[in-house]
Amino acid sequence: MSQHLSEQEIIRREKLGKLKEAGIDAYPAPLYPVSHFSADIKKEFSEETKDNFASVCVAGRIMSINDKGKVFFIKIQDSKGIIQLYVKRDDICPGEDKSFWDNVVKHGLDLGDIIGSTGFVFITKTGETSIHAQTITLLTKSLKPLPVVKRDEHGHVFDAVTDPEFRYRQRYADLIINPDVKETFVKRTKLINTIRDFLNGQGAIEVDTPVLQSIPGGAAARPFMTHHNTLDMPFYLRIANELYLKRLIVGGFDWVYEFSRNFRNEGMDRTHNPEFTVLEWYTAYKDYFWMMEVTEQLIEKIALALHGTTEVKVGETIINFKAPFKRLSIYDAIKENTGIDISEMNEDELRTTCKQLHIEVDASMGKGKLVDALFGEKAEYKYVQPTFIIDYPVEMSPLTKKHRSKPGLVERFELMINGKEIANAYSELNDPIDQRERFEEQVRLMERGDDEAMFIDYDFLRALEYGMPPTSGIGIGIDRLCMLMTNQPSIQDVLLFPQMRPERMEEQED
């Protein structure tokens, strides 16, 4: 295989060769005694505290080099920000031997290289907190130049690289040159930790359930399929973990939760990725009314943890996450946005209504999918402020308990924020006979051509026959919630490595 190199890449390899000839290891042993980080130095250094910074050791990636002859100003970026090094030849090489200065500092360093430095902190004449370097150590030679990014005199990016093909495919480079990207993922971690703290404080127990499943249950979705060689049978990547968590409720746990990595072999767009993360929890002896209240509390707590306020800017809109949230039945939501009451319509009437409203339908769609299409096309995007859409028709919800007072409906809600579903919750169906009948109806839909209909999980039915206490459960889309809380327009912006088509690499056979 031959590798096609740019002129800059060839030059950097030549520099690497010269460093080796001079006895300089461009990739030394990994231990380097970092003592301070850029942001901490800038925050804490002052005339009163300077004695605490008389000896510091820092490391980071070179983001700019200003060659003044016998003095270099080098800005390095560590995990917390950027700081300037004041590098003077006679400090780095105090004797007559200036070979290190010539071989490494003057002719060996490039943007993107990772270096370490020891020295003391001071403030330059221009007022910039800097490190007066006494030693420089090359820790990693960068062989590929970073994309050009424009920064102001303080190191702030004002002309970021925005090409999504580059940013999503080379996330490692994106993180280096676009500092706000890293902050998005720091907030994602804080969001998840806030949820964990909230649930653990309520007495919930975090669990793990199988990713490889013999039956893809718990949701209506098209699965990814693989083959288990030893067992000689097909397996599926999970589309949901719901049925396993309910088994644990049968087994005696009162409240379990899991951050579940799910996989659905479906389309990709601004809010959908085939691999995504969902938080699901199930709580015994609770219903969907209780679940709405707890969900409001959790979402409000997340907003406060990340922003210090319940009012969060999403795009050009301010969304207020202060509880309580608005509640509205799905039939009322459709009527509110179409002027049509579909609550008493049968399947044929719903299909006719969809066609009248120019909603694409086909023969495989039963009543549940028709209602879902009506809501999705005509109502869902209208609910920008947090709104619970409640009381769905039974045909849309094969795992949900029938409504205690409204025939034909189930006790279910979806939380809509910024025009998208963020959470889906039920009073869970625990009647094994009713559950079996609904699974069988899903099989009939599958026979009509619905490739998202559910399989029958006989082991789950057996578990229900032992008896599952009254239970409420919820699934919250972590990626979509992160989009909201970090003001990102696409799900790919909150996934470190989103799925993409394979890249055609430049290496070719000779």
Which residues are paired to 417 by β-bridges?
A: 420
**Measured distance CA(411)–CA(399) in Å, rounded:** 10
Q: Could you tell me how many helices (H) and strands (E) the chain has, helices first?
A: 15, 20
Question: What's 71-126 look like in SS3?
Answer: EEEEEEEECCEEEEEEEEHHHHCCCCCCHHHHHHHHCCCCCCCEEEEEEEEEECCC
Side-chain half-sphere exposure of 305, counting CA atoms within 13 A: 21
The reply, when asked if residue 421 is annotated as ligand binding, is yes
Is 47 annotated in some ligand binding site?
no
Measured CA to CA, the distance from residue 399 to residue 218 in angstroms comes to: 8
| Amino acid, res. 18 | K
Burial status of residue 65 (CB atoms within 10 A of its CB: 0-12, 13-18, 19 or more)? middle
Report whether 288 contacts 411 (CB < 8 A): yes
Give the H or E element holding residue 424. Answer: strand 420-427
Q: Where are the extended beta strands (E) located within 101-238?
A: 114-123, 129-140, 150-151, 157-159, 205-206, 212-213, 225-228, 233-237
Q: What are phi and psi of 131, to 5 degrees?
A: -115, 125
Spell out the residues 6+ positions from residue 7 whose beta carbon is closer than 8 angstroms to its own. Answer: none
For residue 310, what are its two tokens?
A: 């319940």
Give, in order, the Cα–Cα distances in Å from 3 to each of 18, 126, 505, 510. Answer: 21, 45, 10, 9
Which residues participate in the annotated binding site?
414, 421
Which residues participate in the annotated binding site for Mg(2+)?
414, 421
